[in-house]
Structure 1
Amino acid sequence: MKITDGVLRSFRVARTYRENSDKVNCLEYSPNGEHAISSSDDDRIVLYDITQGRPIETLYSKKYGADLIRYTHGDSQRVIYSSNKLDDTIRYLSLTDNKYIRYFPGHTARVTALSMSPVEDMFISASLDKTIRIWDLRTENVQGLTEPLNRPICSFDPDGLIFAVGADSESIKLYDVRAFAKGPFNSFELRLNRACDWTGLKFSSDGKQILISTNGGMICILNAFTGDVMHKFSGYNNSRGLDLEACFTPDSQFVMIGSEDGRVHVWSTENEMKVAVLDGKHPGPISAMQFNPRYMTFATACSNMTFWLPSVDDM
């Protein structure tokens, strides 16, 4: 099924789960789209089977907490996740036996971004300690650092050849993965809205666009090669300055974000038209959302986890 305006408008809530008692911080689909995982302020890590449409296991990180979480490259049984209690170490966890494989210490403040390479066992992390750190899953030793950057966020591109860094809510810096020690090979200065901070950065699946999320009432899309602002989207509720996650659809043709009133807003990246506003009946702000990379479904979360499917009758 192709993702179209009509398909997106037809999405309805298929299942809602109340496994968590507090805000879901992050959700992630496995690379094959068959599993999903969430991390929450209640220290729970919940595993979902997408093919069966149900939660299958709950793990706990009571000592360290659980903030950002990511599946490792090509693996639905191992994850890395950042902490929000005790320290700012990143942990590498086996889901099959709930045992830590490795620890990645070094950050001295909250981790603001965690991005796994799509092609190898490398990941990058950004922190309020002003560092971007490059890691290899096979060793706890950090592989490299960027120069100090204020309020950094980061993400790999879909080919795993470069990574982008957002700094101080005003600039994008592009690094070659194999030559990051030389510094950025390109950078773009942006003047979007100094009244809000950048909270997320993602590449589209075709690598041509960069999505920037903010804690204001605006998200924007940049040309990944020139840094030019292509689109700005607003008109969703975020009066409290929350970190609301936005995402592309897998075909890069649409962008979606949740709002503090529990609705999902969808725009076309081709013509800037808003194509849908979907009500998931969330009791709180939608803090996390992702579109499945393989199947026609997406997930949104507040303290509840909600999975959506298109309704053929409404298309």
Structure 2
Amino acid sequence: MFEQLSLELLQSMGASKVFKENTRPINAIDFDDQGGFTLTSSDDESMRIYNANSGKLQNTVYSKKYGCSLGRFTHRSNNILHCSTKNDDSIRYMSFHDNKYLSYFKAHTDKVLSLEVSPLDDTFVSSSLDKTVRFWDLNTPNCAGFINTDSAINPLVAFDPSAQVLALGTGNTTIRMYSMKNYGQGPFLSQLLEDTLVAVPPQWTRLQFSNDGKYILISTNSNVLYLVDAYDAVIVHRLMGHSNPLNIPLEGCFTPDAKYVMCGSSDGKIHLWDIKTGQKVHDFVYHKDLPRIVKFSPRTCLFASSDTNFVYWTAPPK
């Protein structure tokens, strides 16, 4: 388990490396298992791996034919998954160091909205506007199983840290919880999340579990994030204070010790909330544009953020 991060340490963190290679917004950030490398995929059809330890760009590949989104590391730091944004809706498995595709996962018939690798093994799960959640194994191109969501409205998935539970969000209103061993039997919990303070529910943009498995963070395209109890799927806090007037899809994150939540704002700031109180406790300042994605390293005191640029944030040396 990652050691607890003090608020004082977090507040000391600043932008330490800025990369300006991309010409369009970055649509995904992912760290490898050890936190030593960071993968980005961008709307400019490029994918890049950065060395988080040295703060240098390691490698760049392009996917001009198929586009790229939802770039994810597998458990091998040179092998990645990404989704297509044109020509078809396949998920592609790539060896990054030699720019070679190893396999294609073809079953979805509409845009893939979420792609998550199991924390434990070579399985992964995807959800799509075709109303299905599909289960895969890196070692075979065939779909290993699926769930019909009964709704094409924004299905999103997330693994809990044990990889024993899958959360499925549908319709921007409902969370269903499945046992990975028995997902074919249906959800063991289905909960409607009602936000009575808004007339129209915001669009959910990502689900994530905290590392202790106690909470689910729902990022949205509005000026609110939802902190949800992972056991009974009820809202614990509405996290607010950031702005997003253009309804751009945002992706916040937990800190690795599951004590804080971070997310970008249209004023360029990154906001930090205390999970216990739901109160904003700090702003990180560097970006001029909205930092759409914020992602903390799983192993080191470092986080990354992006608009069109990619930024590493670190604490000052002792």
Normalised to the residue count of structure 2, the TM-score between the two structures is 0.95
**Cα displacement string for residues 221-276 of structure 1 (whole angstroms, at most 9, x for unaligned residues):** 11101112111111101011111111000000000001222210000101222111
Q: In the alignment, what sits opposite 1:127? A: 128
Q: CA deviation at 1:88?
A: 1.1
1:168 to 165, 168, 171: 171
2:277 to 246, 271, 287: 271
Q: CA deviation at 1:311?
A: 2.9
Q: In the alignment, what sits opposite 1:256? A: 262
Q: What is the total number of aligned residue pairs between the two structures?
A: 311
**Cα displacement string for residues 132-182 of structure 1 (whole angstroms, at most 9, x for unaligned residues):** 111111111111111233310011111111110001011100111111111
Q: CA deviation at 1:2?
A: 4.0
Asked if structure 2 preserves the Cα contact closer than 8 Å seen for 1:10 and 1:312, the reply is no
| Percent pairwise identity | 37
Q: In the alignment, what sits opposite 1:157? A: 160
Aligned residue for 1:68, secondary structure, equals strand
How far, CA to CA, are the matches of 1:237 and 1:290 in structure 2?
Answer: 19
Query: Which stretches in structure 1 are left out of the alignment for 5+ residues?
Result: none
Q: CA deviation at 1:312?
A: 5.8
1:25 to 27, 31, 47: 27
What code does the residue aligned with 2:83 have? S
Q: In the alignment, what sits opposite 2:80? A: 79
Q: In the alignment, what sits opposite 2:202? A: 196
What code does the residue aligned with 2:192 have? E
Asked if structure 2 preserves the Cα contact closer than 8 Å seen for 1:122 and 1:134, the reply is yes
Matches within 5 A, 1:93-242: 93-147=94-148, 148-149=150-151, 150-192=153-195, 193=198, 194-242=200-248
How far, CA to CA, are the matches of 2:4 and 2:258 in structure 1?
Answer: 12
Asked if structure 2 preserves the Cα contact closer than 8 Å seen for 1:14 and 1:308, the reply is yes
Q: Does residue 304 in structure 1 map to residue 309 in structure 2?
A: yes
How far, CA to CA, are the matches of 1:138 and 1:214 in structure 2?
Answer: 33
Q: Measured at CA, do residues 92 and 24 of structure 1 come closer, stay the same or move farther in structure 2, by a change above 3 Å?
A: same
How far, CA to CA, are the matches of 2:288 and 2:43 in structure 1?
Answer: 16
How far, CA to CA, are the matches of 2:192 and 2:281 in structure 1?
Answer: 30
Asked if structure 2 preserves the Cα contact closer than 8 Å seen for 1:20 and 1:42, the reply is yes
Query: Which stretches in structure 2 are left out of the alignment for 5+ residues?
Result: none
What code does the residue aligned with 1:55 have? L
What code does the residue aligned with 1:88 have? D
Normalised to the residue count of structure 1, the TM-score between the two structures is 0.96
Q: In the alignment, what sits opposite 1:68? A: 70
Q: CA deviation at 1:45?
A: 0.5
